[in-house]
Amino acid sequence: MDNSPRAAFIKWFLLGGVVASLLLVSQAISVGGAAGLLQVGEANDLRPLIEAELGEIPLAQGRGHDGQMFYAIGLDLSGRDVGPFLDHPGYRIRRILYPAVASLFGRLGGEALLYSMIVFAGLCFAWAAGTTAWIGVRGGRSDWLALAVVLNPGVWLSVRLLTSDVVALALMLGGLAAWMGRSRLSVLAFALSGLTKDAYLLAPIGLATRKRWLVAAVPAAVLLGWAAWVSTQMEGGLSPSDNFSLPLMGLVESVSNWSTLEWRDLAYMGIALTAVAVGLVVSLRNRTTWLRGPIVFWSLLGAVSSSAVWDFGNNALRAFAPLIVLLALSRTEFHDLESETDAPLWRLPFDLVRFGGRRNGT
C-alpha cells in the first residue's frame, strides 16, 4: 500500500468530496432547495436583490446568515451598488476572495453563481481534508489526522452555510504544506487566505522567523493594501467590526445569553471553548511543535474575541475550527528553523526583554 503524502492527499480529497456532497445535499433538502443554502433572511435588505436573480427562494428567519452576503458581493465585486444593503459593507467587501472566485471575477450571476459557490465550498472542504492528510504523513504521523477536518463541526457549518471559513481554511492549509516543502507558494497561499478571512493571517504571523519574515509581511501588506482601497470606496475597509474586546470580557458578557441557546448551539459553544483552552495549554507546554506560533495566536484570539463572537455557538465554532486542525497537526514533526539564530519572529519581544535583563544583571 502506498503511504506517500501524495497518496494520502488523493484518498482524503476524495473522501472529503463525498462528505462535502452529503453535507450540502442534506442541508439543501432541509432548507427547501439549493437557494436555501444562502440563508436569505426574510427581513434582510438583500432579499429583493437576490430574488431578482433567483426568483422565489426559501427564506430564513430574521436577517438570515452570511451566505447571502457572499452571493450579493459576487454580483457586485466593487460593492458600489450592493454596499448600502450590507451591514459593515467595507468589512464584508474586505473578505473578497470567495465571492470573487465563485463568480469567476464578476462573470457569473443567477443560478450559475449559486452553484459555483456550492461547488467551490465543497472542493475547498475536500482540499482541506487532503492537505491535512498530506501534512500528517509528511510530518511522520498518520493521514487519519485529516479527521480534524472531515469530522470538524465548525467546518461543516461553513460548508452548509456557504461562508468563507472553509475557503480560508483550505488556503491556510495549502500554505502550511508549502511551508513544509520550503516553497515560496506558501506566501501566495497565506495572502489569499487573508483576503478570504483576515483572521487567517494569524498562521503566517505565527510561522514567520527572523530570516523568513516575508511569509507574514507579504500577506499582511496585501490585505492592508486591499483594505485601504476598500476604505476609499466605502466606510469600514480597515474596521475590525465589533469582534474584539478586552481579554475574556467577551466571554463574560456572553454568559448571560447562553441560557437562551438551544442544545446544539450550546454544544458548539462547548467545542469552541475547549479548543481555545486546549490551545492555550498546548502553546504553553509544547514548545517544540512547529505550529506553536499559530496555535498561540489563534488561542489568544479566542481570549480577546467579543460577545459578537461568543454570543452564539455557531459563530464561535466557525471562528475557532482552524484551531482544532492546528492542534491535530501539532503532533507532526518538522524542523523549520535553519539555525539557532533563526528564531520565530513572534518571540522577538520576549528575547529582547530577556537580553535586557541579562545586561542589567537581573
Q: How far is CA 349 from CA 168, 249, 345, in A?
A: 29, 25, 9
**CB proximity list for 220: less than 8 A, separation 6 or greater:** 194, 201, 204, 205
- Please, what's the b/e burial string for 193-207 (b: 16 or more CB within 10 A of its CB; e: otherwise)? bbbbbbbbbbbbbbb
**pLDDT for residue 355:** 43
State in Å, rounded, how far the first CA of the chain is from the last one.
58
Residue 233, judged by CB atoms within 10 A of its CB (0-12, 13-18, 19+), counts as: middle
Residue 69 CA to residue 19 CA, distance in Å, equals: 25
Cell of 127: 482540499
Q: Which three cell numbers stand for residue 118?
A: 456550492
DSSP symbols for 103-157: TTTTT--HHHHHHHHHHHHHHHHHHHHHHHHHHHHHTTS-GGGGHHHHT-HHHHH
Phi and psi (nearest 5°) for 64? 80, -155
Q: Model pTM?
A: 0.92
- The residues, ordered by sequence, that sit 6+ positions from 158 with a Cβ below 8 Å of its Cβ are 121, 164, 165, 166, 169, 318, 321
Quote the cell numbers at residue 103: 463568480
Q: What local confidence, expressed as pLDDT, does residue 356 receive?
A: 47
Residue 182 has a pLDDT of 85
Distance, CA of 250 to CA of 303 (rounded, Å): 8
Report the chain's mean pLDDT, rounded to a whole number. 90
pLDDT value of residue 80: 86
Low-confidence ranges of the chain (pLDDT < 50): 338-340, 350-360, 362
